[in-house]
Amino acid sequence: MPTITLSDGSQKFYKDWGTGRPVVLSHGWPLNADAWDGLAVAVAEAGYRVVAHDRRGHGRSEQTWDGNHMDRYADDLAELMERLDLTEAVLVGHSTGGGEVARYLGRHGSDRVRKAVLLGAVPPLMLRTEDNPEGTPIEAFDGIRAGVATDRSQFYYDLSEAFFGFNRPGAEVSEGKRREFWLQGMQAGLKGALDCVEAFSETDFTEDLKKIDIPVLVAHGDDDQIVPIAASAEKSVELLSQGVLKVYPGAPHGLVGAYEAAFTKDLLEFLGA
The residue from 61, 95, 232, 236 that is catalytic is 95
224 is catalytic: yes
Residue 237's contacts (CB-CB under 8 Å, 6 or more residues apart) are: 218, 243, 244, 245
Dihedral over Cα of 67, 205, 253, 157: its sign: positive
Q: Order of strands, edge to edge, in the sheet holding 11-17?
A: 3-5, 11-17, 49-53, 22-26, 89-94, 113-119, 216-221, 243-248
Residue 68's contacts (CB-CB under 8 Å, 6 or more residues apart) are: 56, 57, 191, 192, 195, 196, 199
The residue from 160, 224, 232, 236 that is catalytic is 224
Could you give the CA distance from residue 147 to residue 162 in angstroms, rounded to a whole number? 15
Could you give the CA distance from residue 35 to residue 52 in angstroms, rounded to a whole number? 9
Beta partners for 244? 217
Could you give the CA distance from residue 82 to residue 4 in angstroms, rounded to a whole number? 11
95 is catalytic: yes
Beta partners for 217? 117, 244
The residue from 27, 58, 94, 253 that is catalytic is 253
- CA angle, residues 71, 41, 166, in degrees to nearest 5: 75
Positions annotated as catalytic residues are 95, 224, 253
